[in-house]
Amino acid sequence: MDVQPGDVAEIKQLQRCINDLVSLFALPAMWSGAEPSQIVHTLVDALLRMLQLDLVYVRLKGSGGQAPIEMVRFAASPERAGQQQTGQEQKTQPHQIGEVFQPWLGADPQKWPPLIRNRVGGRDISIMPLELGLQGEIGEIVAASERADFPRQTERLILSVAANQASIGLQGARLLSEQKHVANELDQRVAQRTAELAAANEELRQEIADRKRAEEALRHSQARLSQAIQNATVGEFAAAIAHEINQPLAAVVTNGQACLRWLAAEPPGTAKAQEAVERIVRDGKEAGEVVRRIRALFKQAVIEKIELDLNEVIGEVLHLLTGETARKRIAVETELGQDLAPVVGDRVQLQQLVFNLLVNAIEAMDPVVDRPKKLFICSKQPSPETVLVEVRDCGAGLKDPDRMFEAFFTTKENGMGMGLAICRSIINAHHGRLWAASGEGAGTTFSFTLPVRAAAS
């Protein structure tokens, strides 16, 4: 069978077409992870080399936060091999070529005429526009050649496959780009949220530290306030202390003189002298007990909470104020409940609490001249969980009971306004409650409750 020269050329052309198709099918592997611009450059170089085109124009639409891409590449045709691009080609911008091709870009491929003549770079060329993507959503590519027979059937096939492969590669690049864009946004949001949480945590730690400092300052203030009221009441306590100590000391002196007389008698009255000495010992112990109670009251000692009989605490304070109430002619009435449950507290602080309330009641009755002065103290257990103590006077009453417990608030000319504030502080430290109420007509009642031993524990 004789092979004609035309047949040989056609066979070579088919072999070259097959080789080009194999190369095109290998491109997606090269494009894995590449940017759209890299894919376009590779595609343009491959088409110029395979089809010996004079011009390839590509336009990609923007997507995923990326700007549109427009590219044009001129190459020498076989007839112009070795020639340089013309000055006009070198100066031609991609958008200028795009304006020339615009009438056919995005048009229905079925409506494209088989041959289109255009003036580009001073020469006539034939073009073949192709859409990238199903409906050109990715962009367009235009291949152009000066050959009048362009595009041949094999060239149409190669260009169609190239456009299809490029669409797949560009779609993958777009998806990857969008994924990176979403990942970057997510990383930024995570970083921003992490910074916000770190700032919130730091602010929370600062607030906790500030609160701890405030609580520590409050504890120190309460301790200083307690010591301040103890020192402030020294003057008020002086008369009661002098009276308490003077009584047993005067008895000691009297009994000592009697003992001397009985011993100087003829014969000596030893029995009577012994009785006087025993009274001296008794009065000396009583004076020592007064000193012990006063020192404990004013000593800045660590709070020691123990089980206490609240009636005993009230009795000890009343004993200290016996001279003051007698001097001011105040009748003291008590109604102390029997079988009160013990409370848990610091004896010295609770003595100070009762003492401040009683002194406040005594001083409230100083202006009273038209009626008897009476001081009433009662204790009872209104519930299994609490013990109640009431101190009532017959003074002028209170105009603003709610402000009586504020620090430095006082209705006395020479008062410091610290006594009742310290009372509230002591009550709070013992988990109790303190309040005041004016009676009908005259008088004020100060009341406080303390939890019993079981409730406190």
CATH label, 306-457, candidates 3.30.1330.60, 3.40.50.300, 3.30.565.10, 1.20.1070.10: 3.30.565.10
pLDDT band at residue 438 using 50, 70 and 90 as cut-offs = confident
Mean pLDDT of 3-30: 65
- Which CATH code for domain 5-183? 3.30.450.40
Residue 224 has pLDDT above 80, yes or no: no
pLDDT band at residue 180 using 50, 70 and 90 as cut-offs = confident
pLDDT band at residue 311 using 50, 70 and 90 as cut-offs = very high
Distance CA 423, CA 230 (A): 11
Which residues, other chains included, contact 10 with Cβ-Cβ below 8 Å and sequence gap of 6+? none
Share of the chain above pLDDT 90, in %: 11
Q: What is the rounded average pLDDT for all residues in the chain?
A: 76
Q: Residue 417 has what pLDDT?
A: 45
Helical axes 347-364 vs 153-232, angle rounded to 10°: 70
- Report yes or no: 28 and 41 within 8 Å, Cβ to Cβ: no
Mean pLDDT of 35-58: 81
Mean pLDDT of 53-79: 74
Q: Residue 375 has what pLDDT?
A: 93
Q: Residue 341 has what pLDDT?
A: 92
Domain boundaries, the chain: 5-183, 233-300, 306-457
Mean pLDDT of 441-457: 78
- Global confidence as pTM: 0.40
pLDDT band at residue 242 using 50, 70 and 90 as cut-offs = low
Q: Residue 293 has what pLDDT?
A: 61
pLDDT band at residue 131 using 50, 70 and 90 as cut-offs = confident
Share of the chain above pLDDT 70, in %: 68
Q: In the sheet where 330-336 sits, what is the strand order?
A: 330-336, 373-383, 386-392, 444-451, 433-438
Residue 295 has pLDDT above 70, yes or no: no
Separation in Å, CA 442 to CA 398, 399, 434, 448: 9, 11, 20, 20
pLDDT band at residue 83 using 50, 70 and 90 as cut-offs = very low
Q: Residue 129 has what pLDDT?
A: 82
